[in-house]
Structure 1
Amino acid sequence: LAWPSVFQSGTALLRFSHHHVVVFLLTFFSCSLLHASRKTFSNVKVSISKQWTSNAFNTTLELPIEIWSSNHLFPNTEEATLFLGMLGIIFLFSYTVGLFISGMVGDRLNLRWVLSFGMCSSALLVWLHFYNRWLYCCLWIVNGLLQSTGSPCVVAVMGNWFWKNGRGVVFGLWSACASVGNILGAFLASSVLQYDYEYAFLVTATVQFAGGIVIFFGLLVSPEEIGLQVLNLITLSKSPELQFASTRLLPGSLAYTCLKPVNYSFFFWLPFYLTDPLSIWYDVGGIIGGTLQGFISDILQKRAPVLALSLILAIGSLVGYSRSPNNKSISVLLMAVTGFFIGGPSNMISSAISADLGHQELIQSSSEALAMVTGIVDGTRSIGAAVGQYLVSLIQDNLGWMWVFYFFILMTSCTILFISPIIVREIISLVE
């Protein structure tokens, strides 16, 4: 066991400059703004479904019902809800494809340019509204591709600035950006939703666009840009180019596919079936879980055992939540606990573990690896998330919510099973 070097006096902390703080904050809030944009869509689903149907009419003007109905996309709320669920699936599939592409593009172009372009372009697309089903589908496909520039770029930049010793606690704290973005998106949407759902998109899109401008002019991709020493413990050579095929062999990358459907199902569907203040507690638990579990993994100098223990406890929290009584206080507690044991590991996988994989032996000979690795890890996870969204809606419609929780338990168990070789190897290493 070793105390994380980031907390050892006279060592790592003295190496931190104000540039590290700026990079941490800029990447943190850029990722938060992208998540806030996605969260806004899930938070306004109810308002959208009501406005897209012909249930409400203007009582101040006496016009035939046919005129009011002609501008609505769907005849009833059920069809609107089904279409909104399909939009979420379309976005996730597009986002998944984009992650594989963005990782490779980010490693070959300037990460700052790619991230800024993705943020600004996505903000403009989120604000665009064409009241046509096919145009909405096309917009969400492009939006998914643009949103996918975020994760590979920000993790690659953070990996350039923060070394492996102490990375778990730094990235654990940084990975709270997703949950902070979810909370921010819920707050911004709820503050203007009374005026109309378009204003919710306008507010988040404006803030995200401004954030993209700040990233373009203010983000330093690497310490080398200002002549600082590169602190990564592994020296990378420039010569061999990393091939996409070799990254498929990254240990455990496919195993993480099973966890993201559970995390994203809570992300996309909780605001639709629960009040927003209650669903926020899942993100609060994720913030605490990611930070604390990252800290413990630094002390152990191993990630997999911490991840496995958290997922085992996550199964218990899912069972408890599925059988919880209809009590608000108990629901808040169980929601936070579930977020701690599911959202926490998900955040750690998307940040610290991705950065670790980017510097492992299989690909350490390439300096153009980290963004691609992050794209691979997040991409494989997002495949599961996209398929999972369809399965969740299918199971819920035919079997009910109890079977949805059984599905969550099955996917969490599969995650533990698939990473068991890594768990065994790291536990043996700890014992020795």
Structure 2
Amino acid sequence: MGKEPIGIKLLPSVSRGPTRDVAYKIYILVLTFFCYTCYHLSRKPISIVKSRLYRNCSDPSVSSDERNGTECDWKPFDKSDASALLGGLDLAYLFAYAVGMFCSGHIAERISLRLFMSAGMILTGVFTAAFGLGYFFNIHSFYYYVIVQIFGGLAQSTGWPSVVTCVGNWYGKGKRGLIMGIWNSHTSVGNILGSIIAGAWVDGAWGWSFVVPGIIIASMGVLVFLFLVPEPADVGCTEPASDQGKGNEETQPIINRDDNPKRSEAVSIWRALFIPGVIEFSLCLFFAKLVSYTFLFWLPKYISNKTSYSAEKAGDLSTLMDVGGIAGGIAAGMFSDYTRGKATTCVVMLVLGAPMMFIYNEYGSIDYAHSVGLLLLLGFMVNGPYALITTAVSADLGTHKSLKGNAKALATVTAIIDGTGSVGAALGPLFAGVISKTGWNNVFWMLIGCDILAIVFLVRLVYKEIQLWKLFGCREPLEDNNEEVTVQNR
């Protein structure tokens, strides 16, 4: 109870027993949901503002005042190499995010999760706002924006290992796919809110598109410091026990983790890599996240280029992909819970996602109705596997039975998987910025190729899941039967 946050001490006490456990579980799920909503809310503005930083002054959407005197773009993004420069900003941010992710997982296992995430959110707010201050202070140095993006990426990397570890500490494996599928909608909700907030100022004083999200996430960081409870033991609750192959939600009494050196020992990155499935899902996410983040950072500009829509309208329309992504993440979680086949679930959605990207590129700009319908379907297929791997898959592998009860692997495993995916996320927008000069069709062929490569890395795991279904049926927990299958195969 000594680790109870200050804010929790000020709240009305909750009765002991099961009611207390359930109340805290719901509370943690809601709080972490809003936390990561703020993370995505603060990283979305750059994709909305891109079409404002570089605009064709002969475009009909540009007012006569802008053509005749005021700037219709922003130096240094006012020349023909604007796409490459904007792609460079994405690379700086996402590469820093990927590097920071590996470090964050390592750190998060060793210090207070509450302090770590609180500091990360406040710093994220500072650097998000700093990008927008470039507008108010009339800063036109490319290096200023690059440096801000680098530090912003490092600060953002504190979020994912922290929230996944926190939720994983409170919830067992039973129905984890569905719970985390619903919970993971924070990603899309954050993107939608970020698009709306940034879009409100994009055609005017675009600096507010960054300053306002920066204030929001920094304020949320203060609330995290006051109210986040990373582990049940911090408030005297019971923790979820291992499922032991039964898919239940049994609980066990809290033990003093300091009395159990084995549980207190943090897991090294090297050891985490040898947990079965970590490498395959990491490489799959490399390509799946490359595709997802290319859309995240370039979809509004693509829509603006393919249609006559303004930057604000294109940004609003792009949010429909996130709406579809919410449904895709929930559907992936439900299906994986029912079948116990997470790799198979990912592959099915990836297989459907490749032709969906081709169809959207061909027919998505015909009219508004086509854009709406196809964006919803595209988001469903593209974001479903990405959501499942970064949530339920990461949480399951971080508590894999090969760890023999060690509770200090979740953040490390999450960081390895999402960090590897973030390297792909860094490369995707960069490639898109370069390839878009040759035509958007080539960008989509690149994305389709990456989608296919994501499938390839899960083929072995899908084969194993099929073999397990034949032996035990789709309702049995697959990971707990792996040893039996290995023995029989021998």
1:363 pairs with 2:403? yes
Q: CA deviation at 1:49?
A: 3.2
**Matches of 2:296 and 2:54, distance apart in 1:** 18
CA–CA separation in structure 1 for the residues paired with 2:464 and 2:212: 48
- Match of 2:363, SS state, is coil
Deviation (angstroms), 1:247 = 2.2
Which residue identity lines up with residue 273 of structure 2 in the other structure? Answer: R
- Output the CA distance in 1 between the equivalents of 2:129 and 2:55: 19
Q: Is the 8 A contact 2:181 2:331 kept in 1?
A: yes
Pair 371,241 (structure 1): closer, same or farther in 2 beyond 3 Å:
closer
Does the CA contact (< 8 Å) of 1:120 and 1:212 recur in 2? yes
Q: Which residue of 2 aligns with 1:6?
A: none
Q: Encode CA deviations 1:249-280: one digit per residue, 9 max, x unaligned.
A: 34122222111111001100001122123211
1:298 corresponds in structure 2 to 337
Which whole-Å deviations, capped at 9, do the CAs of 1:76-100 have from their partners, x for residues lacking one?
A: 3433443222101110100000000
Matches within 5 A, 1:201-240: 201-233=210-242, 237-238=262-263, 240=265
Matched, 1:164 2:173: yes
| Partner of residue 17 from structure 1, selected from 12, 17, 22 | 22
Helix, strand or coil: the match of 1:152? helix
CA distance in 2, matches of 1:328, 1:247: 47
Query: Which residue of structure 2 aligns with residue 4 of structure 1?
Result: none
Q: Deviations over 1:126-170 (max 9, x none)?
A: 112352222221111111000000000000000001110110000
Q: Which residue of 2 aligns with 1:264?
A: 293
1:341 aligned residue: 381
* Cα gap change, 1:403 to 1:73, in 2 (>3 Å): closer
The corresponding residue for 2:274 is 249
| Displacement of 1:58 | 12
Report the Cα distance in structure 2 between the residues aligned to 1:348 and 1:72, rounded to whole angstroms.
39
Does the 8 Å contact 2:272/2:409 carry over to 1? no
The one-letter code sitting in structure 2 at the alignment partner of 1:18 is: A
The answer (yes or no) to whether the contact 1:259–1:415 under 8 Å persists in 2 is yes
The reply to whether residue 381 of structure 1 matches residue 381 of structure 2 is no
**TM superposition shift of 1:72:** 6.2
Identity of aligned residues (%): 32
Distance in 1 of aligned mates of 2:351 and 2:39: 30
More displaced stretch, 71-80 vs 173-182:
71-80
Separation in structure 1 between the aligned mates of residue 387 and residue 284 of structure 2, nearest angstrom: 15
Which aligned pairs between 1:99-248 and structure 2 lie closer than 5 A?
99-128=101-130, 129-130=133-134, 131=139, 132-233=141-242, 237-238=262-263, 240-248=265-273
Q: 1:192 to 1:404 in 2, by over 3 A?
A: closer
Contact 2:76 2:142 survives alignment (8 Å): no
Deviation of 1:33 (Å): 0.7
How many Å separate the matches in 1 of 2:285 and 2:469?
23
Residue in 2 that maps onto 1:320: 359
Q: Distance in 2 between matches of 1:27 and 1:59?
A: 45
Native 8 Å contact 1:259 1:412 kept in 2: yes
Task: Give how far 1:239 is off.
Answer: 5.5
81, 84, 96: which one aligns with 1:82: 84
TM-score (norm 1): 0.89
Aligned partner letter, 2:387: N
> Match for 2:38: what amino acid?
L
SS at match of 2:39: helix
Structure 2: gaps (5+ residues): 1-17, 57-61, 244-251, 253-259, 304-313, 472-490
Work out whether residues 104 and 415 of structure 2, in 8 Å CA contact, stay in contact via their aligned partners in 1: yes
Q: Distance in 2 between matches of 1:297 and 1:231?
A: 20
Tell me the amino acid that sits aligned with residue 263 of structure 2. K
Structure 2 Cα separation of the partners of residues 46 and 180 of structure 1? 22
Amino acid at match of 2:187: A
1 CA distance for matches of 2:77 and 2:354? 40
**Would the alpha carbon gap of residues 396 and 195 (structure 1) be closer, same or farther in structure 2, given more than 3 Å must change?**
closer
CA distance in 1, matches of 2:457, 2:116: 33
Question: What residue identity is the alignment partner of 2:290?
Answer: P
Does the 8 Å contact 2:329/2:388 carry over to 1? Answer: yes
Relative to structure 1, the CA distance from residue 269 to residue 15 in structure 2 (aligned partners, 3 Å threshold; closer, same or farther) is same
The yes-or-no answer on 1:36 pairing with 2:41 is yes
Mark the CA change 1:396 to 1:364 in structure 2 (over 3 Å): closer, same or farther.
Answer: farther
> CA offsets, 1:11-49, max 9 Å, x none?
xx9786221111111111111111011111111112233
Residue type of the alignment partner of 2:318:
S
CA distance in 2: counterparts of 1:97 and 1:430, whole angstroms: 38
Contact 1:48/1:197 (8 A) holds in 2: no
Q: TM-score, normalised by structure 2?
A: 0.78
Does the 8 A contact of 1:172 with 1:290 survive in 2? yes
Aligned residues of 1:160 and 1:232 also touching (Cα < 8 A): no
Residue 331 (1) aligns with residue 371 (2): yes
Deviations, residues 53-92 of structure 1 (Å, cap 9, x unaligned): xxx99989x9xx9xx99x9633734334432221011101
SS in 1 for 2:81: helix
1:191: how far off? 2.3
CA contact (8 A) 1:240 1:365 kept: no
* Structure 2: distance between partners of 1:388 and 1:238: 38
Give the Cα separation in 1 of the matches to 2:81 and 2:337. Answer: 48
State the distance in 2 between where 1:370 and 1:319 align. Answer: 37
Q: Which whole-Å CA distance do the structure 2 matches of 1:333 and 1:58 have between them?
A: 34
Q: Distance in 1 between matches of 2:45 and 2:242?
A: 40
| Correspondence list, 1:265-280, <5 A | 265-274=294-303, 275-280=314-319
